[in-house]
Every structure is written in C-alpha cells, then in structure tokens.
Structure 1
Amino acid sequence: MNIKFAEKYGFCFGVKRAIQIAERNRNATTLGPIIHNTREIARLERDFDVSLSEDIENLADAQNVIIRTHGITKQDLQTLQERKKHIIDATCPFVTKPQKIVKKMSDEHYQIIIFGDKIHPEVKGVASYGENVCVITSVEELEKVKLEKKVALVSQTTKQPKQFEQIAAYLVSKVNECRVFNTICNATFDNQHAADMLSRDVDVMIVVGGKNSSNTKQLLAIVQKHCPHSYLVEDENDLQESWFEGKALCGITAGASTPDWIIKRVQEKIEQI
C-alpha cells in the first residue's frame, strides 16, 4: 500500500501552544477538554498530571485552572476570577479575536450573526460576549432570522470559507449595514484545501482525529466529495483491512488537534496491511 500525505495536516499553532502550556503546568486542571482529542488528553493526564473537569462546579479543589483552546464563556471566566483561581489561559488567539469583535460590535448595538455550531464550546464562548446574538449553520437557517438594520458577522474558526461567503453575501443583500469579519483560521483553510486536493488523486482516504472535533469532521466531509472511500479514525485501532482491498494509493490527513505520534501509528499500521 502506497501512502501519500496532504501537504498540510495535523497540529495547528493554537493547539501546539495549548499543549505546551499544559505541559509546563503540572498538576493543573483544564476546564473542559483542552483540545478535542481524547488520546492526547489521556497522555497529558498520565505524563503531566493535567486533569480534566467538564464542569466549573467540580473545580472546588483545583487552584490552577487552564482555559482550553476553544475558550470559555464570559460568565465562567468571571466565576473563576471571583473564586480566586489561578487562571492559565490557553485560549487560541484566533478564538480570542472573534470574542473581542463580538463584544465591540455588540457595544455598538449591532445584531451579531455567528456562523457556527450552537453546541460547540468555541461558539458558546464567543456568543457570551454579545447581547443580541444569533447562531446559524447555513443560509437556509439565516432566512428564518428577523434581521435588524445593523448586522455584524463572524465565524467559528473551523468553518468552510465558501459557506461563510454565501452567508455574507446574503446578509449584504438584506440589511442596511453589514460588518463582515472573516474569523476562519488560516490553518483550517490550508488543511482543508490540502485535503481536498489530495482526495482527488487517491483510492482511499484516511482522516485522523477526534470524532468530536469540528475541524476533523469538516475534513472528512470535504474529502468524501472526491473520494467516497474516506474514513475517520481516532487511532490505528480504528483501521479496518477491508477498506484497503483493491486499493493502490492511500491518502492521509489529520485534524488540527491530532498529535504526530498518533498519525505515525496510523501510517505504520496501514503500511503493514
């Protein structure tokens, strides 16, 4: 089995930064998963005593609290400050950016439209900085929203640029004033473009990453358009030999929260098939 990697894949700047912060702060607790990769979270707990708390109410005994890459809500941050916790901020700068934009635009009385997934922690955090906020995932959803005269648009960092452009175009045609802020991360776009190009040339495509990771699921959706034999795996144990029967070239890409050690194991397992 021949293997070809996408030109861009794996850990992005924000994730690398967060992991380094966690490794420097032993015995700390992250509020929510620091990244969306259960294997890497387990490694941090095993090797660096970095524990995980899903709920702010379970942080009673934790003094050193790491804010995850996706950020937290404005309200949770205030709660940590009131409880005198030592806050270690690992929020990705590309996530902090839309938080600040939403606050500024909301203060200036703009209706806030966020292109993103309502239940995603990044979107929840960004939305918490605004007053009049609507979260949508498509133009079809936006058509049902009562729009005001002044609107500001931001995006979840891992969304697809083409969809964001469609939403922006719709808003511009419907309101008196529309401020558009492209908050999609460059690394996300680069990974998506590289995966798209590779998927056109291979017989089977493997996307490595957390199954609860938004950017990883986006990669899978993109490569499936050109390579129907595309699969998402969290590690080498998810691989199935039947996927590679009759195939000559396998493409590999990985989500922004996928560490190199997992990608290497997936590569080695495929080479053995």
Structure 2
Amino acid sequence: MEIELAKSYGFCFGVKRAIKIAEEHPGASTLGPLIHNNMEIARLKKDFNVSLANSLEEVKEGQATVIRTHGIPKNDLKKLKEKGGEVIDATCPFVTKPQQIVEEMSEEGYDIVIFGDVNHPEIKGVMSYATGPVHAVLSVEELSRLHLRERVAVVAQTTRKIEEYNKIVNYLVPRHKEVRVFNTICNATFENQDAARELARRADVMVVIGGKQSSNTKQLYTICKQYCPDTYHIESKEELEPAWFAGKKLCGITAGASTPEWIIEEIIGKIREFKV
C-alpha cells in the first residue's frame, strides 16, 4: 500500500509561533490549552515545564502566563495583567485581526455577525471586543432568527469553510442596507482544505490527524469524508486499526494545524508496520 501526504498539512504559522514562544518561556503557564493538541501540550510540560491553567483562578500571582493561540476574552486579559506576572501574547495574528475588526465596527454602530461556534475559545475572545450587539451563528437558519439592524458587519472564525461563509454573506446582503464583509478565514486553512480534498478524491483510505477538539481538523475530516468514505480522524497511533487498510492501494494522510510533525511521523511509521 502506498502512503501519500497531502501537499499542505499540519502546523500553521500561528501554531508554530505559539510553540516557539512557549519554548522560550520555560516554567510559564498557559491560560487554557495553548493549541488543540493534548500530546503536544504534554510535550511542552515534560520538556519545558510549561503548565496549563484552565481558568484565571488557577493562574498564580506573579506567574508568567502565555496567552493561547485562540486568544482570550478582553476582560480576562485585563484580569490576567492585574495578577502582576509577565503576560506573553501568543494569540495568532489571524485571530487578532477579527478582534480588531469587531471592536472597530461595533464602535461605529454596526451589528456584528460572526460565522463560528459560540463555544469555541476563538469566538468567545472575538465576541468580547464588541461594544454593541454581537451574534455568533453556524448556519443561515440560525441567522434568519436574528433581528438585526440596517448596518451589519460580518467576520468568520479563522478555520471555517469559505463555501459556508459565502452562504451567510449571501443571505445578509439583499436584506440590509449596508453589509461590511471581512474575509478572516486563514490562508493556511484554505491550503490544507484544498490539498486534503485533492488527495481524498484519489485515496482508498484517508487518515486525518489532529485533536478531537480542533475545529480545523474536524473541517478536514468532513471534507475528506465527502470524497473518501473510509476516512478516519485520530489523535495518536494507538487509535489505528489494521482492518482500515486491508485491500487498500493508496492511503492519504493529512493533519490539522495543531498537529506536530513528530506525531504524524509516528502514525505513518505505525501504518507501515501493518504490512497490508
């Protein structure tokens, strides 16, 4: 069986930057998981003593704290600074941008619509920068239930699919006098999704590697599943099953933006051991 990696996969710019920042601050803590990959977080703890604080209450007074790639709510940032420790901002610049847009557009009197998951840490952070009405939606159906004013500004979660974002925008434009649209989906997301789609069209089996809570990895899984029914989303080599590969000629591999190369290499090595 041949194994082929997607042309674009794995760590994005923002994640690489955050990992480097954490490694440069041994002994610091992160407020929330730095990235959506438990194995990489465990490596940072083991090799650099970078601990995890799940809430502001867990951050010690005077503790150096790294802000996660997804960012944190504006008020949490203020409270974190009040604790007196060094605050190291590892928020991805592609996440900082929608925060700035929401703050600016909200101050100018626009209702804010965010295409994204209201429970995702990135979206919680972005919403916190609004000074007026702000709504997070995942579908046109949810959007249709909102009572928006005439002026609307719309942004997207960085890891969403552009096709779905277009549906939100196309619903808003004919229904409001002014709609300001900002494309805040990360280029790395586009590239990984396009590469996964191309490979899934040809593969007999696809393995999508990444955290089970990772939004962009789940998007990759959904895309691959459309073109290759035998698609599996795993975090580690322990989840692999030999039966998945029996009789297959081409195994495609892709990985989410929070998946380090060492995990990908472990999984490929394990698949080769099956000798199918």
TM-score tier by shorter-chain length is over 0.9
What residue identity is the alignment partner of 1:26?
Answer: P
5 Å matches for 1:150-229?
Answer: 150-229=151-230
What residue identity is the alignment partner of 1:175?
Answer: H
Q: Structure 1: how far apart are the matches of 2:95 and 2:62?
A: 25
Query: What residue is the counterpart of 2:45 in the other structure?
Result: 45
Query: What residue is the counterpart of 1:112 in the other structure?
Result: 112
Query: What residue is the counterpart of 1:242 in the other structure?
Result: 243
Query: What residue is the counterpart of 1:55 in the other structure?
Result: 55
Q: Structure 2: how far apart are the matches of 1:190 and 1:10?
A: 11
Query: What residue is the counterpart of 1:5 in the other structure?
Result: 5
Q: Which runs of 5+ in 2 are unaligned?
A: none
Question: How far did residue 49 of structure 1 move?
Answer: 0.4
Further displaced range: 77-86 or 205-214: 77-86
Query: What residue is the counterpart of 1:129 in the other structure?
Result: 129
Q: Deviations over 1:142-176 (max 9, x none)?
A: 11111210000000000000111111111101101
Q: Structure 1: how far apart are the matches of 2:2 and 2:240?
A: 16
5 Å matches for 1:22-41?
Answer: 22-41=22-41
Q: Structure 1: how far apart are the matches of 2:58 and 2:210?
A: 28
Q: Which runs of 5+ in 1 are unaligned?
A: none
Q: Structure 2: how far apart are the matches of 1:91 and 1:30?
A: 11
Question: How far did residue 62 of structure 1 move?
Answer: 5.3
Q: Structure 1: how far apart are the matches of 2:62 and 2:270?
A: 39
Q: Deviations over 1:164-222 (max 9, x none)?
A: 11111111011010000000000001000100110000000000000110100010000
Q: Structure 1: how far apart are the matches of 2:56 and 2:240?
A: 36
- TM-score normalized by structure 2? 0.98
Query: What residue is the counterpart of 2:139 in the other structure?
Result: 138
Q: Structure 2: how far apart are the matches of 1:120 and 1:206?
A: 24
Q: Secondary structure at the match of 2:104?
A: helix
Q: Is contact 1:31-1:52 (8 Å) kept? A: yes
Further displaced range: 154-163 or 140-149: 140-149
Question: How far did residue 235 of structure 1 move?
Answer: 1.2
Q: Structure 2: how far apart are the matches of 1:111 and 1:164?
A: 17
5 Å matches for 1:83-94?
Answer: 83-94=83-94
Query: What residue is the counterpart of 2:18 in the other structure?
Result: 18
Q: Is contact 1:28-1:62 (8 Å) kept? A: no
Q: Structure 2: how far apart are the matches of 1:124 and 1:238?
A: 31
Question: How far did residue 250 of structure 1 move?
Answer: 0.2
Q: Is contact 2:110-2:151 (8 Å) kept? A: yes
Q: Structure 1: how far apart are the matches of 2:49 and 2:60?
A: 17
Q: Structure 1: how far apart are the matches of 2:180 and 2:85?
A: 37
Q: Is contact 1:29-1:62 (8 Å) kept? A: no
Question: How far did residue 85 of structure 1 move?
Answer: 2.4
Question: How far did residue 246 of structure 1 move?
Answer: 1.5
Aligned length, in residue pairs: 273
Q: Is contact 1:204-1:229 (8 Å) kept? A: yes
What residue identity is the alignment partner of 2:23?
Answer: E
Q: Is contact 2:206-2:252 (8 Å) kept? A: yes
Q: Secondary structure at the match of 1:118?
A: coil
Q: Is contact 1:202-1:250 (8 Å) kept? A: yes
Query: What residue is the counterpart of 1:75 in the other structure?
Result: 75
Aligned-pair identity (%): 56
Which stretches of structure 1, 4 residues or more, deviate above 6 A after TM superposition? Answer: none
Q: Structure 2: how far apart are the matches of 1:62 and 1:161?
A: 42
